[in-house]
Amino acid sequence: MTKERILELIASAEQNSVETECVEFKDGRGGFSGKQVWKSISSFSHRPDGGLIVYGVKENNDKTFKVVGIEDIATFQEGLINYCREDMVNCTDPGFEVVEYKGKKLLVCIVSPIADEKKPCYRKSEGMHHGACIRIKNVDKVLTADEVREFIRNSTPFKYDHLPVTGGNFNDLSLPKIKEFLKKSATKKGRDTSFLSQVGSVKHVTENVGICCSVDDVLTPTNAGYLIFSSNVPQQHKDFKRFIIRCIRYKGNTSASPIVDKIELEGSLDEQIESMQAFILKNISLSAKIVGTKRVERYEYPPDAIREIVANAVIHRDYSINETYTQVAVFENRIEISNPGNLPPGVTIENIKESQFSRNVLIANIMRDMDYMEEYGRGIEIVFATMAEYGLLGPLFKNSSNSFKVTLLGEQFKYLNDRQLKIWQILQETGKTVNAAECVDLLGNVSRPAITLDLKNMLKVGLIEKEGAGPSTRYKAKY
């Protein structure tokens, strides 16, 4: 990271009076203390881009910040290096920059991300189950025991897509499809494709790219390789029979509405993506209008947004959970796509646009070379951008303990404001009811009349419903 970029991040946080996902301020005038920084060291070690601990900025009682500078920089550097080496586990040595800001010298400790196989980074004295943290907005949150297990389960040695298929062998795979993929991948990268004429060379490359792995000197498909390149329908294998996608079109806005179309999709991952998108496009409105002298047709949702959400669902689902299915629900006013498993550790609804994390690295790499996904981080941006081009709201995300759901909202919701969406998301997340006064407390800095109008509009478009009457009126999410 350049010194100019470091100063930009510091200035933005200081001037906006709020620390960020990647900037933590420390006073430092009382001397170095590991107790003050271990949480940030752990959190930033788990962020894809790491983070900055900035010494020489004091937090005032009113939550603003004052630049006070720092002395004895060498002592702080030595203290941080020794602390990372002796008191933290799975921590890399920090980097340092001394910058001048508002006439004061600041010491910037640069914490780099650690490799998947080393996670979690934690404080030795607290132990793994109490000493590991993740950064949520500007807060370092200590991981729960379940979250620590998720970190370990998502590390490279335990990644589902890297594991060999039970009882599998190379002949289970489609050699023509593998050759087509390798030719396309090599051509993209300007590499020679003559190796494709020799099966032995092809086998060697499949091991290099993760389609296969060696088990007791036998070339065996990985789960990733089998799910994408199996010569048969992958779901015919007993370990993959639940990896189907259930698609339903409802004539109405709730799951109690009549079903007008449904299908269970099998096939390789690329086939499932194609079939999912085809089902959704078949079951949403297609209108036409005359533009100049031409007839132009347009779906009610942007196909590019649907494509990205569908591809992400297939590529990033938690395949280690095989008790349930990926589900697609097309309602009259929205589309919902739900996946088994929640977001990976360190990825939140708030940072999902910036996070560049894939639960299934092999699957993601292969599918990207097959043009089924954008470079990491761009897919979600495309969804937001194309929904905005259609005059629609951005996608909504719901992350629960055992599932992750993306909702694309239809035209009837386009005039909802940020407050109304936030109220709805809170009601969805908690499953609780609220009254108008509680909404004021939840949102803060908003008047009671504004909240009353928000609730009225939400009732009008069918997002919420009332319980009780008069002073006892409460509201809950309709779906």
Model's pTM, two decimal places? 0.74
| pLDDT surpasses 80 at 287 | yes
Residue 463: per-residue pLDDT: 85
Reported as a single tens digit per residue, the pLDDT across 36-58 is 899 999 999 988 889 999 999 99
- Report whether 58 contacts 27 (CB < 8 A): yes
**Segments of the chain assigned to CATH 1.10.10.10:** 418-477
Q: Report the CATH number of the 3-157 domain.
A: 3.30.950.30
Q: Average pLDDT for residues 192-217, to the nearest whole number? A: 91
- Give SS3 for 51: strand
* CATH 3.30.950.30 domain range(s) in the chain: 3-157
Q: Cite the residue boundaries of each domain of the chain with CATH code 3.30.565.60.
A: 245-413
Q: Kindly report which listed range (291-300, 370-379, 436-445, 451-460) carries the lowest average pLDDT score.
A: 370-379
pLDDT of 375 > 80? The answer is no
pLDDT level of residue 9 (50, 70, 90 thresholds): very high
Decide which of 393 and 353 is more confident: 393
- Average confidence (pLDDT) over 69-94: 93
Domain 245-413 has CATH 3.30.565.60: yes
The pLDDT score that the predictor gives to residue 355 is: 65
Confidence check: pLDDT of 376 > 70:
no
CATH number for region 418-477: 1.10.10.10
pLDDT at 346: 64
Quote the pLDDT of residue 63: 84
Contact yes or no for 13/19 (Cβ under 8 A): yes
In tens, the pLDDT along 408-421 reads 999 989 888 888 98
What's the pLDDT tens digit per position in 15-24? Answer: 888 899 999 9
Q: Tell which wins on pLDDT, 429 or 167.
A: 167
pLDDT tens-digit map of 142-197: 988 777 877 776 665 568 898 999 999 999 999 999 999 999 988 888 888 888 88
| β partners of residue 397 | 406
Average pLDDT for the chain: 89
Select from 85, 112, 144, 118 the least CA-distant residue to 22: 112
- State both tokens at 370: 């097959």
Please choose, from the candidates 236, 231, 222, 219, the residue with its C-alpha nearest in 3D space to the C-alpha of residue 179: 231
Helices assigned H by DSSP within 210-360: 223-229, 269-282, 303-316
